[in-house]
């Protein structure tokens, strides 16, 4: 498989539906080559070689990009992409599998800890200036069982962290 580098593309297109943070990241990275796409602005479509997009584009939309070489999606799931069109036109498709594993698994673990430590009750009491020291039952996650539904990179990262905290982990794909 051929690697496509930043210098390989004369023009990179970015879809407007992208979050502000992701847009700023790509605008900084590819400042000289970037075109912010408006679906009605078709004058530059033939020049676009790389498309950074959500994984919901259609083959009808992609037909406007005759020189397209690569589509980079911002999520792991690409099951709605027009694979027949991509294969027929030799367009490489990449996804973001694994990109969010550490962040999402840390967030999930934070929610587990918040629940077992009843952080919501502590915050509510603090806002009311209620200093009840014995209110609520705080527990630990150690020796608890966690069922991880989904065996992707996020599920694996969460399982790894939970095991490190002494939890028993069961995974379901």
pLDDT digits (tens, 9 = 90+) for 143-165: 999 999 988 899 999 999 999 99
Torsion of CA 125, 128, 129, 132, to 10 degrees: -30
| pLDDT attached to residue 1 | 42
Confidence of residue 122 (pLDDT cuts 50, 70, 90): confident
**Residue 171 pLDDT level (bands cut at 50, 70, 90):** very high
The kind and range of the H/E element at 69 are none
Q: What is the model's pTM?
A: 0.60
pLDDT at 16 over 70: no
- Residue located via tokens 């599998």: 97
Q: Check whether 94 has a pLDDT greater than 70.
A: yes
Strands of the chain, DSSP E: 12-15, 34-37, 50-53, 70-73, 92-94, 145-149, 168-172
pLDDT in tens, 19-54: 677 667 766 766 655 555 555 455 667 778 888 887
Domain boundaries, the chain: 6-94, 101-172
DSSP, res 35? E
**Identical fold, 6-94 and 101-172:** yes
* Predicted pLDDT of residue 13: 63
The answer as to CATH 3.90.1200.10 being correct for domain 6-94 is no
Question: How far is it, in rounded angstroms, from Cα 173 to Cα 164?
Answer: 21
pLDDT at position 12 over 50: yes
Over residues 167-171, the mean pLDDT reads 96
b/e string for 78-102 if b means 16 or more Cβ within 10 A? Answer: beebbeebbeeeebebebbeeebbe
Fold for the domain defined by 101-172? Rossmann fold (3.40.50)
How do residues 63-79 score in pLDDT, each as one tens digit? 988 999 999 987 878 88
Burial of 45 (0-12, 13-18, 19+ CB in 10 A): buried
Largest CA distance in the chain: 68
**What average pLDDT does this structure show over 83-97?**
94
134 versus 2: the higher-pLDDT residue is: 134
- Written as one string, the DSSP assignment of 78-122 is -TTS-HHHHHHTT-EEE--TTTTHHHHHHHHHHHHHHHHTTHHHH
């Amino acid at each position: 498989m051929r690697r496509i580098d930043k210098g390989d593309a004369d023009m990179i297109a970015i879809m407007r539906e992208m979050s502000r943070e992701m847009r700023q990241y790509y605008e900084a990275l590819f400042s000289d080559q970037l075109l912010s796409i408006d679906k009605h602005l078709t004058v530059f479509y033939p020049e676009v070689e790389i498309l950074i997009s959500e994984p919901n584009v259609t083959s009808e939309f992609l037909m406007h990009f005759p020189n397209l070489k690569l589509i980079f999606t911002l999520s792991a799931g690409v099951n709605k992409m027009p694979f027949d069109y991509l294969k027929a036109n030799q367009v490489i498709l990449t996804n973001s599998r694994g990109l969010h594993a550490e962040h999402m698994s840390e967030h999930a673990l934070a929610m587990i800890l918040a629940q077992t430590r009843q952080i919501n009750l502590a915050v509510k009491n603090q806002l009311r200036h209620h200093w009840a020291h014995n209110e609520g039952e705080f527990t630990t996650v150690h020796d608890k069982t966690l069922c991880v539904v989904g065996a992707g990179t996020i599920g694996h990262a969460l399982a790894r962290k939970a095991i490190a905290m002494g939890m028993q982990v069961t995974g379901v794909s």
